[in-house]
Every structure is written in structure tokens, then in C-alpha cells.
Chain A
Amino acid sequence: MTIQTTRSEDTLTVHLTGELDHHSAAGWRSAIDREAICCHPKRLVLDFSDVTFMDSSGIGLVMGRYKLMRSWGGDLRLGGLSPRLRQMMSLAGIDRLPVWEEGENHETY
């Protein structure tokens, strides 16, 4: 499990690689929060295109980061989600939040 972050203007992009479960989520959470709290970006983008496994720990990670970004008026965007990961997100109603990257409207897949 690795993460790679890039910053441009007001956007912090976090590229997640590996398996996202309860064990790995704690490390990912603290790494993302450390970056986000330090630079207060207007937008946080979580890129899931190289996440090879995810259980509901991933939903918790997304919900927590959504709340964090909203705490300073920022927003969260999710990218690179496979249909399976989208199905998981929809169990929590995350599909009803404005978190999809452009061109990733969940109704189109």
C-alpha cells in the first residue's frame, strides 16, 4: 500500500495504490490528513484507479475525508472508481454526494 500526492493551485491529489482494508486505512488516513490539514486545499481528489481491493473501510475513509474537507469549506472528488467500488460507495449513499470527478458520472457506467 502506497500513496502519492501531488499539489497544484488549490487542489491536492492523492493517488492510492494497493489494498484498502481496515489494516491499511489507518496509514492512508493519517497520510492524507497530514497533507490536507497542512495546506487546506480547496479540493481534495482521491484517485482509486490503482486500488486493487476495497471493503467498507474505504467507505469510512471517504466519509471521514468528506467531513474534513467540508470543515473548511473545501470539497472532495473521487476518481478512478471501478463499477465494484462505485457499488460499495452507493451502499453508504456516497453516490448521492457531489463527489464525482468530471466524466465519471455514476449514472453513465
Chain B
Amino acid sequence: MKPINEMKVQFPSRSVNERLARSVVSAFAAGLDPTLDELADLRTAVSEAVTNCIVHAYPDSIGKISLQLRLFTDGRLSVKITDWGVGIDDIKQAMTPLYTSGGEDRAGLGFSVMESFCDRVRVRSKAGHGTTVTLDKYILSRHTEAV
């Protein structure tokens, strides 16, 4: 299926950009007239994925994060977050609720939150090469009229 709208941005893995990523997603989704809950779900899930890149993918350096947004005719908004950092050895373990390698005050719930607030979460990773997380969320409100 071809997207009916799409955009891609890239930014360095600085924590100040967590907010930027949320703003970009809000702006892209705004044309779909999402409910406040749908928008908050998206913003929260994207914040988790981008934070994972900053905390885990590039623990001791600043690297690139790519955020790709695509909208499809059935109202599906697909958000792909890509990094070229350390990668994940064991994806199943990384997605286990409360598991964290992030140290004090990281709850280990990033993937749980993404899964709670999105319709589908896919993770591809290769140790030493990076990780791609794809979040799919259906925006059900008036997406057809908005595009």
C-alpha cells in the first residue's frame, strides 16, 4: 500500500529532541483530526521510542535518529524510528516489562507503553548496527475527509 502522505526528519540523539519528536508527530497527525486521546497515545509512544535511542542506542555518544511518518488511506499512521547505535542483542528480553539496562530511575516500561498505546509495535535490530522500531496506530476519526 502506498502512503497518501509522508515525511521524514533526522535529528541528533540529544534528550531535548524527545520533545521535538513529539511535536513533529502532533503536527503530522493534526490534519487527521485525531481525538485528544489518540494524539496523546501517539506522542507517548514516540517519546518512548526516541528516548530508547537516546538512552540505549547511543549510551556514550551522540548519534543520528531518523523519524519517518507515513499515512495510509485506511487511517493507519505508521511511525518508523531508526537509529544506527549499539543494537539490541535480545529483543524479547528488551521488551519484557520492567526489564531495563538503563540504570537508576528507568522503569523498564518503554516497550510496554508503546504496546499499550499503539495497535502494532515491530522491532528489528542487529547488534552493532542499530535498531528500527515501527509503531502503527489507526486514527479512526474522520481520516478520509481530512486528506
Provide the A71-109 mask, 1 if CB < 8 A to any CB of B, else 0: 000000000000010011001100000000000000000
Q: Does B105 contact A (CB under 8 A)?
A: yes
Query: Can you name 8 A-B pairs with beta carbons within 8 Å?
Result: A21-B15, A53-B47, A55-B110, A56-B109, A57-B51, A60-B106, A61-B105, A91-B113
Q: Does A50 contact B (CB under 8 A)?
A: no
Task: Please state if B112 and A91 are interface contacts (CB–CB under 8 Å).
Answer: yes
Task: Please state if A92 and B40 are interface contacts (CB–CB under 8 Å).
Answer: no
A interface residue numbers (CB < 8 A to B): 19, 21-23, 25, 29, 53-57, 59-61, 63-64, 84, 87-88, 91-92
A-B interface, 8 closest residue pairs, ranked by CB to CB distance from nearest: A23-B15, A59-B107, A60-B105, A60-B107, A56-B109, A55-B47, A64-B105, A22-B51
Task: Please state if B104 and A64 are interface contacts (CB–CB under 8 Å).
Answer: yes
Task: Please state if A19 and B19 are interface contacts (CB–CB under 8 Å).
Answer: yes
- Closest-CB distance, A32 to chain B (whole angstroms): 11
CA distance A72 to B115 in the complex (A): 36
A residues less than 8 Å from B55 (CB atoms): 22
B residues less than 8 Å from A59 (CB atoms): 107, 109
